[in-house]
Amino acid sequence: MTSQRLAATSALTALAPAVWGSTYLITTEFLPPDRPLLASTLRALPAGLLLLLMTRTLPRGIWWWRAVVLGVLNIGAFFYLLFLAAYHLPGGVAALVMTIQPMIVLLLGSALLKDRIQPVHLVACLVGAVGVALLVLQPHAGLDGVGVLAGLLGALSMASGIVLTKRWGRPEGVGLLTFTGWQLTVGGLVLLPVTLAGEGLPDHLTWTNVGGFAYLSVIGALIAYVLWFRGLSRLPALAASFLSFASPLCATVLGYLFLDETLRPLQLLGAAAVVGAVVLAQPRGRDRRPAPAPPERAASRV
C-alpha cells in the first residue's frame, strides 16, 4: 500500500475514536443522568441487531466462539470496564491509565503477530502517554485502586481485541457489516443483564434523550465501528491502537467548544504530542512506481 493510501486509511480510521470522544458531550448534554451502562447497551445492541437484520448472516463453525470472544473484548467487557474506571477515577486519570493500551498491543503483537518492536514504537508510546497526561490530567487528581484496576483491564481488553482481530481477520466471504454486527450484538447482549441488574430502566425518556441514544447507536457504534474494523483489516495493529488517542483529543476540543472548558498552554502542548505520537506510529508505505530503466538499456532505446 502506498504512503498516500496508508495516510487516507489512517485518517478515515481515526474518525472512529474521534466520534467516541464525543460520547462525554452527548452523555452529559443529551442523556438521562447516571446511566452509563444503559448508554453502552443501547449504543451496541440496536446497531448490532440492525446489521444482523440487514446482512442475515450468522457465524459458522469456529467463528461462533471467535465472534463471542471478539464481541466481549472489543465491546462488552471494554465498555463495562471503561465506565467502571470512570466512576472511580477522575476523567483525566482514567484516560491516562488507558494509554497503556498501545504498549500492550506492542507486546501482544510481537508474540501473536510476529511484529517487530522498533525503537520508534517505544518512543511513540512514551510521547503519547505524556501527551494524554498533559491533555487531560487535572490538578489534585485522586487515585482509586478499583478504578485503576478497571482501567488497566479495559486497556488489556481492547488491546487483546485489536490483536486478535488482526490475527483472525474475517471469515472468507463475510463482509465488514456482518463482521461488525456480530461483535456489536455479542457486546450488547453481554451488557444487557449487567445494565438491568445495576441500573434498571429509566421511568421516562425525553425526545432529547432519544436523540442522544440514536446518535450513540447509529454514529457512535454502527458507523464508527464499521470504520474501525475496516481500518484494523488494513493497518498494523499498533498503528490502529495509537489512533485511539484521537478520543481524548476530540473530547477535549469539544469540551472547549461547547462546554466552556478552558485550554491551557500545557494542554495544547499535550495535543501536539498526541498527534506526534500517532504520526510516529503510522506505517510508512512504499511508492510502487516502476523503477527507472538501467542506464545502458535506456541508452539502447535511443
Distance CA 278, CA 257 (A): 23
Express each pLDDT in 79-130 by its tens digit. 888 877 767 765 556 666 777 888 889 889 988 988 888 888 888 888 888 8
SS3 category, 236: coil
Contacts of 53 (CB under 8 A, 6+ apart): none
Burial class (CB in 10 A: 0-12, 13-18, 19+), 144: middle
C-alpha cell at 68: 463471542
Burial call 155-181: b when 16+ CB within 10 Å, e when fewer: bbbbbbbbbbbbeeebbeebebbbbbb
- Nearest alpha-carbon partner for 184 in 41, 58, 63: 41
Stretch 274-284: mean pLDDT: 82
Output the pLDDT for position 233: 92
Express each pLDDT in 24-63 by its tens digit. 788 888 988 888 889 889 999 999 999 999 999 999 999 9
Q: What is the residue extent of each domain of the chain?
A: 3-286
pLDDT bin (cut points 50, 70, 90) of residue 266 is confident
DSSP per residue, 128-166: HHHHHHHHHPPTT----HHHHHHHHHHHHHHHHHHHHHH
Express each pLDDT in 131-177 by its tens digit. 887 876 665 555 677 777 888 898 899 999 999 999 999 999 999 99
Q: How crowded is residue 60: how many other Cβ atoms within 10 Å of its Cβ? A: 10
Distance CA 237, CA 47 (A): 25
Output the pLDDT for position 68: 97
DSSP code for 60: -
Q: Is the pLDDT of residue 71 over 90?
A: yes
C-alpha cell at 105: 498491543
Output the pLDDT for position 28: 80
Distance CA 139, CA 133 (A): 11
pLDDT bin (cut points 50, 70, 90) of residue 301 is very low
Contact 127, 278 (CB under 8 A): no
pTM for the full model? 0.84
Ramachandran quadrant class, 173 (left: phi over 0; alpha: psi -120 to 50; beta: rest): left
Angle value at C-alpha 9, between 132 and 292, nearest 5 degrees: 120
Ramachandran quadrant class, 8 (left: phi over 0; alpha: psi -120 to 50; beta: rest): alpha
Distance CA 83, CA 251 (A): 15
C-alpha cell at 231: 481500518
